[in-house]
């Protein structure tokens, strides 16, 4: 098959994408600096930037002194050009956040989920109701939205119909984007695995920034990971790569929510940790009502409870073995530990986690790796989801609403 020849329109779109992306990540910049960073000619920079200013995508952002000449005009992406929504559909609740194009958070809506296996129809209703509340809180019209991104558990099959396969919460081929549109949300909807959206957020704005080879790990009720190889997210043949939680830690071990035996998630996911703690207490209920507060109770009990200390020590060992597998398989320069449970464990036990990882990893590979905590906090999945429509804008070089939505980013 002969490769399609690039047209003048393709070249122009690529130049727009290059300049817009550079301004988004590195701005404000002068035209001269843009040329130096992108390798584009001064004439091309001037012409394309002029178009983007006319379109309202780019604005002037002040002046900077130049050596011996007139001050140079600084440029930046226009924060008011449009807005984006990021949604984190977790196993304990739905978090929705609204941002402008500088990724400044303007409003947040949180809605709890009563069941760890929520009915997808109920999730659609929660998103629709929360969406209206979100826009009302910020005083933003839906017409200003470039798109909505949603981070979900499980794998996401990209295509003409985007389908979510999340057997741990009982979703099998759910057409979530179609469901959201059915509830009256008219802007483009992008859906991706929550670990991958967290990974993108940390790579763009957080602890992963600047790394070419990294793993962003998400530990909550369950476990996932984003693998970055040479600056690109590794997705696999059907975009299901990164299911780190369902790698086998112990042959014939504990039953995992996925139905398999011995998965890492069954030992290190919050649900698995708390189940082990409960059984170590002879079946006695753990004080407090939700997973996050119960995990905090476990961690805070270490100094006064031998049972709690033993469970936590064992958890650190399991987690270290799991991270060592990432080190040995992918040879990353950086591993970022995130998710609400990952942050709770890492905030108290990061040195111990590093030691446990070193005990299970190949020495040379481990010496090339740093293990750090995520920087964006518990809403990293929602922030990353909001980057999905931004990514479409940057890759297209134009508003994603004015052309058919790409099914895969």
Cis peptide before 28 (omega within 30 of 0): yes
Give the model's pLDDT for residue 113. 86
For residue 316, CA distances in Å to 11, 301, 352 come to: 51, 15, 7
Give the model's pLDDT for residue 276. 97
C-alpha closest to that of 392 among 13, 5, 4: 13
The β-bridge relationship of strands 145-152 and 83-89 is parallel
Q: Give the span between the Cα atoms of 243 and 156, in whole angstroms.
A: 12
Run of H or E residues at 311: helix 306-330
Contact predicate 310/280, CB 8 Å: yes
Give the model's pLDDT for residue 407. 36
Residue 316 tokens, joined: 């650190």
Q: Give the span between the Cα atoms of 375 and 214, in whole angstroms.
A: 15
Residue 278 tokens, joined: 């409960």
Give the model's pLDDT for residue 405. 42
User: Would you give per-residue pLDDT tens digits along the chain (409 residues)?
Assistant: 455 566 877 888 899 999 999 999 998 999 999 999 999 999 999 999 999 999 999 998 887 776 666 788 899 999 999 999 999 998 788 999 999 999 999 999 999 888 778 888 899 999 999 999 999 999 999 999 999 999 998 889 888 888 999 888 888 899 999 999 999 899 999 999 999 999 999 999 999 999 999 999 999 988 999 999 998 998 888 777 889 999 999 999 999 988 899 999 999 999 999 999 999 999 999 999 889 999 999 999 999 999 999 999 999 999 999 999 999 999 999 999 999 999 999 999 999 999 999 999 999 999 999 999 999 988 899 999 999 999 999 988 877 876 544 333 3
Bridge partners, 373 (sequence order): 337
Give the model's pLDDT for residue 5. 61
Put simply, whether the predicted model's pTM sits higher than 0.85 gets the answer yes
DSSP string, 109-156: EEEE-SSSS--HHHHHHHHHHHHHHHHHHHT--GGGEEEEEEEESSEE
Contact predicate 335/214, CB 8 Å: yes
Q: Give the span between the Cα atoms of 305 and 89, in whole angstroms.
A: 34
Give the contacts of 248 (CB within 8 A, at least 6 positions apart).
260, 261, 262, 263, 264
């Amino acid at each position: 098959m002969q490769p399609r020849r690039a047209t003048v329109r393709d070249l122009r779109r690529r130049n727009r994408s290059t300049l817009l992306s550079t301004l988004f990540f590195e701005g404000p910049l002068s035209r001269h600096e843009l040329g130096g960073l992108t390798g584009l000619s001064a004439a091309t920079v001037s012409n394309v930037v002029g178009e983007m200013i006319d379109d309202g995508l780019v604005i002037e952002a002040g002046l900077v002194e130049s050596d011996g000449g007139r001050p140079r005009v600084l440029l930046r992406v226009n924060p008011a050009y449009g807005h984006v929504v990021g949604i984190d559909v977790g196993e304990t609740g739905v978090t929705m956040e609204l941002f402008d194009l500088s990724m400044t958070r303007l409003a947040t809506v949180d809605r709890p989920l009563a069941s760890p296996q929520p009915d997808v129809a109920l999730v659609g209703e929660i998103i629709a109701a929360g969406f209206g509340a979100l826009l009302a809180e910020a005083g933003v019209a839906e017409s200003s939205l470039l798109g909505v991104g949603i981070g979900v558990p499980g794998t996401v099959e990209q295509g003409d119909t985007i389908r979510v396969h999340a057997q741990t919460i009982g979703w099998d081929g759910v057409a979530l984007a179609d469901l959201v549109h059915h509830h009256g949300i008219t802007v483009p909807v992008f859906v991706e695995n929550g670990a991958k959206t967290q990974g993108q957020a940390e790579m763009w704005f957080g602890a992963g920034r600047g790394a070419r080879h990294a793993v962003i790990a998400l530990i909550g009720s369950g476990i996932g990971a984003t693998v970055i190889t040479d600056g690109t997210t590794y997705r696999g043949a059907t975009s299901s790569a990164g299911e780190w939680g369902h790698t086998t830690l112990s042959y014939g071990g504990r039953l995992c929510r996925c139905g398999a035996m011995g998965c890492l998630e069954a030992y290190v996911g919050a649900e698995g940790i708390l189940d082990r703690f409960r059984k170590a207490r002879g079946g006695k209920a753990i004080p407090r009502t939700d997973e996050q507060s119960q995990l905090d109770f476990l961690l805070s009990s270490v100094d006064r409870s031998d049972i709690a200390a033993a469970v936590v020590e064992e958890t650190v060992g399991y987690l270290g073995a799991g991270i060592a597998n990432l080190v040995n398989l992918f040879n990353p320069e950086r591993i970022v530990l995130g998710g609400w449970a990952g942050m709770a464990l890492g905030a108290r036990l990061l040195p111990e986690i590093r030691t446990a990882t070193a005990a299970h990893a190949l020495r040379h590979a481990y010496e090339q790796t740093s293990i750090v905590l995520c920087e964006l906090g518990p809403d990293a999945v929602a922030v990353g989801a909001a980057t999905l429509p931004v990514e479409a804008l940057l890759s297209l070089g134009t508003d994603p609403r004015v052309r058919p939505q790409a099914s895969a980013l």
